[in-house]
Structure formats: C-alpha cells, structure tokens
Amino acid sequence: MSAETGARPAEDGWPDIPGDTALTIKVPEADPLVRAGFPAHVTVLYPFVHESRIDAAAHRELAGLFAGHDAFTLAFESFGRYPGVLYLDPWPHDPVVALTKDLTRRWPEAVPYRGIFGAGLAPHLTVANGEGPATQEAAYDRLQAELAPALPLSCAVDAVHLITWDGRRWQDREEYRLGAPRPAAPPYRVV
C-alpha cells in the first residue's frame, strides 16, 4: 500500500486507486510502535484484484485457499529498513511467503506492489515511513532506539483480512480464517 512505502508518482503505480484491495495480517500487538498513520499489519498481497471482481465465488475461493494454511505465530525481534521505511522484521517469513505464492499462483494478475519492487518485498511491518533521504538515518536511528525495549513481540496469526481502498482510507471488508474448520464437538447427552 502506498502508505507503507511512501508517496510515489502515479506513473510508478502509486497512489492507491479507489477499489484497490489488499490482503493483510493484523498485528495489534505492534500498534503502539507504529508511527506511520495506519494500524500495524503485515501485507500478504497488495494490490489484490479490484473490489468489483470479488463476488461470492471469489470469497469462497479465498476462504478455501486460506483454510488450507495452518495458523502460525510471527515474532518481531529486529528492525530493518527499506529506502524511506523503518520496519519490524516478522519471523519466520515462510508462512507469509507461502500465502502470497498461493494467491499469485491462483490470481497471476495480482502482481505484488504492482511490480515496482520486482518480485515484491520481503514480509515486513512498517513502523515509520515519513522521513526523506536527508533525515531518515538519524530519525530512524532515534526511533529504533526508543522502540527497541518493547521487543520482542509475538502475534498469533489465525486470519487474513481483505481490505479495500475507498479513495480516502482502507476499510475492512472480510476476514478469512487460517486452518481447516474444526468440526463442532458432539453434543453431550444427559442420561
């Protein structure tokens, strides 16, 4: 999402387009650390397909795809940087990468980050993205030192969220549970 990686000219694929969708993992445990102006999350796939293409059949297909992946835990123990971005590095990467690969195999037109970063970016949780080249190193060094005592964090991941850009903000649209549905426990019989 453009909010994650800073503003870019429209000819480079930014900004977000009304109707854009994304699939994300919410990380509320990290919300107090985020200074980027949006809730803490790890992007699974941005952009996904235009919201007009997400009908009941697509929802069923997404639910089935995600149900085929086990729930997992992400640990956040260290920081990383992309140009203009300070982020938390979620570990392990493999469960998030597996979700992205399954989605792009099924929807090959959903190219991560519109192809701007080649095959995409490694999983990350953006903490800050408002600094320019002249100030980012010193500002992010300070912010990293301030936030480091709050680490490590961990987050149990049992769902992926579909969000939609309405032209002003990202809105939750659907939640897809990871792992096969558990059968209901048989009712107890009173004898």
Dihedral, CA atoms, 156, 108, 22, 76, nearest 10 degrees? 30
Residue closest to 180 by CA, chosen among 65, 8, 73 = 65
Give how far Cα 40 sits from Cα of 9, 36, 45, 46, 88, Å.
24, 9, 15, 15, 10
Q: What is the mean pLDDT of the chain?
A: 88
Residue 189, pLDDT score: 45
One-letter amino acid at 116 equals I
Residue 14, pLDDT score: 62
Using DSSP's 3-state secondary structure scheme, residue 33 falls into helix
Q: How confident is the model at residue 5 (pLDDT cuts 50, 70, 90)?
A: very low
pTM: 0.86
SS3 assignment for 55-70: CHHHHHHHHHHHHCCC
Q: Compute and round to an integer the Cα radius of gyration of the chain.
A: 18
Q: How confident is the model at residue 117 (pLDDT cuts 50, 70, 90)?
A: confident
Q: Alpha-carbon distance 100 to 106, whole Å?
A: 10
